[in-house]
Structure 1
Amino acid sequence: MDAEVLRGLPIINNYLDGTQREAMDSMSGMHFSDSNRKVDYVLVYHYRKRLTQHSPGAGSPGPIHRAASMAIVSNGETKKGGLNLQQDNGQHTPQEAQVIELDPLDTLEEEKRLQREEYECNLVAAGLEIEKDIENKSQGLNFVRIHATWQVLSREAELLKIKMPTKKMYEIKKEEGIIKKLSEIWCKLSEPLQPQVPQEDTRMKSLSYPFSREKMYLYNIRDKDTFFDNATRSRIVHEILKRTSTKTRNSMGISTLIANNVYEAAYPLHDGEYEYQNDDMNERKLLYREWARYGVFYKFQPIDLIRKYFGEKIGLYFAWLGLYTEFLIPSSVIGIIVFLYGCITIESDIPSKEMCDQHNTFTMCPLCDKFCDYWNLSSACSTARASHLFDNPATVFFSIFMALWATMFLEQWKRLQIRLSYFWDLTGLEEEEHPRPEYETKLLQKKLKNKNMNTENTNEDGEDKLTWNDRMPGYAANFGLILFMITLTFSAVFGVIVYRITTSAALSFSTNETTRSNVRVTVTATAVIINLIVILILDEIYGAVAKWLTEIEMPKTEKTFEERLILKAFLLKFVNSYAPIFYVAFFKGRFVGRPGHYVYVFDGYRMEECAPGGCLMELCIQLSIIMLGKQLIQNNLFEIGIPKLKKLFRKMKDERTEPKEMDTNQPKDPQQWDLDYRLEPFTGLTPEYMEMIIQFGFVTLFVASFPLAPLFALLNNIIEVRLDAKKFVTELRRPDTVRAKDIGIWYNILSGIGKLSVIINV
């Protein structure tokens, strides 16, 4: 590692003193204007004012007022380093102003302004300190910066039962004997693969205990400003933002305010820039250098640093993705061996030799009525030989191996998850069952609507709740729409079947000999591409529909909301992705009939049948194109292209809404909160997990037809890990840290796919 990185390493895990940290953070816009209080959270909104001068005789519209560009609100007082709202030494007397008669849009903006004022006052009452820009322009962005004091942090940490390290240390016992020697050998061999990040001492571990203000002596508090790291501070502030309500429109929490466009965004700050070449090192820059670049694809992931920066939930996702990618290595090797075995033994395959023997004249029945003639089986020689590459005795062994592989992967993940849970102090973690703001808002609206009702709709504790009658419309919409979407998927599959049948018949009528001889290849290739396009379109629709259906269900807690959303999205995308493949694998060619008694779909159109060598080759083509197409187009192109288009669109929108005149009071260089606002908002891990789970299904369910599927999945995942890493570090706003002790319902889905793979491969 070069000297520049080495100089930066000691300041990563709270190693630097207060002066160094203040100097570094103030330079990157991490503090209030007094350079003392850290910015823990940022709220953003657009504002617009319509003011005019009262005196019509003025030659030019002079300034309405001149004031400092910042205002600091801290429990109703202006702090010492703050900027007071003062006029410019009396040199510019503010002219009398009057407000133009408000149109409905301006009335709505005024309501939002009042709601923001009430919400911010409630935040101040909760103990938070606020700094915001003065709305001294006609329209534009306004940033509300929030700081949590030690009193607020300690109070909320105790309320949330956040585990913090104590002074008590204990030693972790190491392996002895041959295991220790093997471990040392592995460490030396894998040293070039290790990321150059500060490593925690694995021999000693601090005893963690839920924070308590009454037992402050237990904790190793050297500096109150650095005792809670940035991720924990932002998590605490976010909890306060979620439960702070406003009486205007009965809004509960920041999520409801953002949904009502009162605020446009809310996010914690990144730890500075990630690509400036200077001696100051921060965790974001270190993650970028050692993890979020394609040039370090061969290195292990710094899971502990990922967890420290992004939180346990995201840390567990990348740990799971890393283990899954590692497990694909042996399955890829076995798949390549199976494919090579097919290549080596293709000349000794008796069925294909008999089909390709020109001396054997096996006359076959016509493939279509009226226009098709009898044909010789030897004309299907190339298809039979190609089928042997994937359909050979080694494929049976590979199917058994992949069934065992899936089980071993799940068991190994349980071991790793328990290990991470121990080192990350997640053992005994209590799930937070706080009601969602949307649920509380709906409940509040119900209370106001039924003020005079008796307590028949209360539970034993006397707490109001949404009853079955309140949820019935949502459940009915869920059942009806999910059934409709599944029917739509089957209809799309049937439509492609009709396309194949009709196109085959049409091409068979052609007078061109080349066209007639390549009917099967042409129809198969075009049908698979149509299937892929339909799958990609329906996937995007199903994701949006699943989210909307879950929202109208009104789940009480975030955990329930997430589980229901995942189940709906997975059910719809599972059917959408695998329905065409299931048809080819189990149904195509089973309902053809026999000569003289064929099965017809429409008058004159016979049901399609498999190629002479069987349907496995067609299944291989179908699986490979759909799998590779989803990975290249949906997982990579969409993940790279769509965020860049959204960023460009938002930049153009801000340039239109921002005033043209230059504000001399604003700093020339953009502050960190402004840089982070230009990034994409974090929308959750569900899309990331979903694409990997669907890929896991391709690798395990139908691997008998395509032994190279693990290899292509491995190559994709090597890119996917760094693509996701780069997206989290450079393209997305910093997510709120969420503690989680496991990957949740995703493990149950993986386990179900593993059991289903045994049946399907058999």
Structure 2
Amino acid sequence: SDQIPLNRLKVDYVLCYKYKKRRASRPRLSITSNGSLPLPIPILIPSRLDSEAESGEAGPPAGDMEESKLSEEEKALMREEFESGLLEAGLQLERDKERSNCLSFIRLHIPWPILSREAELQKIKVAVKKKCELRKRTGTAGTWDSFVTKVNTPFQPDVPDFDIHKDSQTNLHFKTLKHPFIRDKLHLYDINSTETVFDNATRSRIVSPETNTLSLSVDCINSLLARGVYISAYPLHDGSFTRRGRRDQRNDRQLLHEEWANYGVMHKYQPVDLIRKYFGEQIGLYFAWLGVYTQLLIPPSVLGIIVFLYGIFTVDANVPSQETCDDNLNITMCPLCDGVCDYWHLSTVCSLTRASYLFDNGATVFFAIFMSLWAAWFLEHWKRRQMCLKYSWDLTSLEDEEEEMRPEYEEALQEKKAKVKAMLKKKVHMLACVFAANSFISNLQH
């Protein structure tokens, strides 16, 4: 995806589809910008397909079987109508020329009027001109802060804080203040150019089907992907992850590759803010939860090792283990089954008894009590951490969204619902027939 040629416009989203060369030539969409296209013949449009899904009718299965039911002309008409809807929404489209591998890409670009409108609707925060001076605490509190900072420095990721700047003349640190974007108050924001107001990750998040209010909706994209109209839809990465040039010129993808997706930094905390900035809020919250869960598993792991070592050191003093492993007692046990099983000696299960004692000894009771308290502690700690992240990421006003269904299972689920519905109707009809027959027989008896 990084090798797609970019002409003049910044690519915010990419649609990919597969085509077959046709003998009869027909007019195709050329490289287009904002404008209007004549609407094609409305056959098999996504809106009609979505209405069928809402009505509960059985749809065709996903995958290759679905792709075989749609001809290339029908797919082309569906693509043209969908792309005309994007053009009407204000997006700019750029189409690749046909290639020998039968793959074509459509690059989407959001112009500034649409970008600013979507940013205002999504309440994306932008830096304002006013800065806040950061002052260090003095006295005992300042000494304690310096000590904690030195201790935590080896465990912090080497990720620059873009919100904190240092004045070269006064050596004072200033924090950048941010406010939700408002189009009518551009003079209050620290904007040098409209092309650099939002970084690539933010622009991709604005045009993402999960968040935007344009024609590029997640239901429509999933429907088109499931039917084979498009084979892929994705945003572009922010350049290559291999570092080139100076260290202070690394992009977000390079920072994540070096300070997060690397076994050499497994002892450091995760750059959660950078993960959220690059991948979005849902991915950021997931890895924040994973980090909290992994960190809080350290106390149970240490205590479990202590309980296991206690079992190793006290297994020889355990009375049941001693009696089981003493051959001189010659304890004979009854057969385990009737008829074919013989008597057996208790000493034959010596190793099993000693091994079970290592994990189930007197200290295991205290470990079970600790785990019950640890579970409540973990839940409360994650609630606190989640609320802190939501406040700092300005997500307190957003409701939790359900996970979107994968395209390959969308049609299968609709078909399953239709089968269940038909089965229920059949059972209701059978019960009605049984009741009618019983009432008829009772009337004859009377």
Is the pair's TM-score, using the shorter chain for normalization, greater than 0.5? yes
**TM-score of the pair, normalised by structure 2:** 0.73
* TM-aligned CA distance change 1:227 to 1:241, over 3 Å: closer
Q: What secondary structure sits across from 2:17 in the alignment?
A: strand
Q: What secondary structure sits across from 1:339 in the alignment?
A: helix
Aligned to 2:315: 346
Q: Which runs of no fewer than 5 residues in structure 1 stay unpaired?
A: 1-27, 53-63, 65-69, 78-103, 443-469, 481-762
Question: Which amino acid in the other structure matches residue 140 of structure 1?
Answer: C
Q: 5 Å matches for 1:136-535?
A: 137=100, 140-170=102-132, 181-201=143-163, 206-239=176-209, 243-244=214-215, 253-275=220-242, 277-279=244-246, 281-429=250-398, 473=417
In 2, Cα distance between equivalents of 1:333 and 1:473: 49
In 1, Cα distance between equivalents of 2:141 and 2:298: 23
Question: Which amino acid in the other structure matches residue 153 of structure 1?
Answer: L
* TM-aligned CA distance change 1:192 to 1:159, over 3 Å: closer
8 Å CA contact 2:201–2:238 kept in 1: the answer is no
Decide which of 42, 53, 56 is 2:14's aligned counterpart.
Answer: 42
Question: Which amino acid in the other structure matches residue 16 of structure 2?
Answer: V
Q: What secondary structure sits across from 2:336 in the alignment?
A: coil
In 2, Cα distance between equivalents of 1:472 and 1:259: 16
In 2, Cα distance between equivalents of 1:42 and 1:288: 23
In 2, Cα distance between equivalents of 1:51 and 1:475: 41
Q: Report the aligned-residue RMSD.
A: 3.9
Aligned to 1:579: none
Q: What secondary structure sits across from 2:19 in the alignment?
A: strand
8 Å CA contact 1:339–1:390 kept in 2: the answer is yes
* TM-aligned CA distance change 1:362 to 1:183, over 3 Å: farther
* TM-aligned CA distance change 1:437 to 1:272, over 3 Å: closer
CA positional deviation for 1:376: 2.2
Decide which of 46, 69, 74 is 2:33's aligned counterpart.
Answer: 74
* TM-aligned CA distance change 1:437 to 1:415, over 3 Å: closer
**TM-score of the pair, normalised by structure 1:** 0.44
8 Å CA contact 1:41–1:145 kept in 2: the answer is yes
Aligned to 1:118: 81
In 2, Cα distance between equivalents of 1:283 and 1:425: 21
More helix by share: 1
CA positional deviation for 1:149: 0.8
8 Å CA contact 1:166–1:218 kept in 2: the answer is yes
Aligned to 2:42: none
* TM-aligned CA distance change 1:332 to 1:475, over 3 Å: farther
* TM-aligned CA distance change 1:256 to 1:105, over 3 Å: closer
In 2, Cα distance between equivalents of 1:410 and 1:208: 31
In 2, Cα distance between equivalents of 1:320 and 1:474: 37
Aligned to 2:98: 135
Question: Which amino acid in the other structure matches residue 374 of structure 2?
Answer: W
CA positional deviation for 1:268: 0.4
In 1, Cα distance between equivalents of 2:275 and 2:252: 9
CA positional deviation for 1:358: 2.5
Q: What secondary structure sits across from 2:208 in the alignment?
A: helix
* TM-aligned CA distance change 1:475 to 1:391, over 3 Å: farther
Aligned to 1:670: none
In 1, Cα distance between equivalents of 2:68 and 2:353: 70
Q: Percent identity?
A: 51
* TM-aligned CA distance change 1:211 to 1:278, over 3 Å: closer
8 Å CA contact 1:244–1:254 kept in 2: the answer is no
- Tell me the number of residue pairs that the alignment of Structure 1 and Structure 2 aligns: 375
CA positional deviation for 1:297: 1.6
* TM-aligned CA distance change 1:293 to 1:180, over 3 Å: same
Q: Which runs of no fewer than 5 residues in structure 2 stay unpaired?
A: 37-66, 165-172, 425-446
In 2, Cα distance between equivalents of 1:175 and 1:351: 62
Q: What secondary structure sits across from 2:31 in the alignment?
A: strand
8 Å CA contact 1:41–1:146 kept in 2: the answer is yes
In 2, Cα distance between equivalents of 1:431 and 1:351: 54
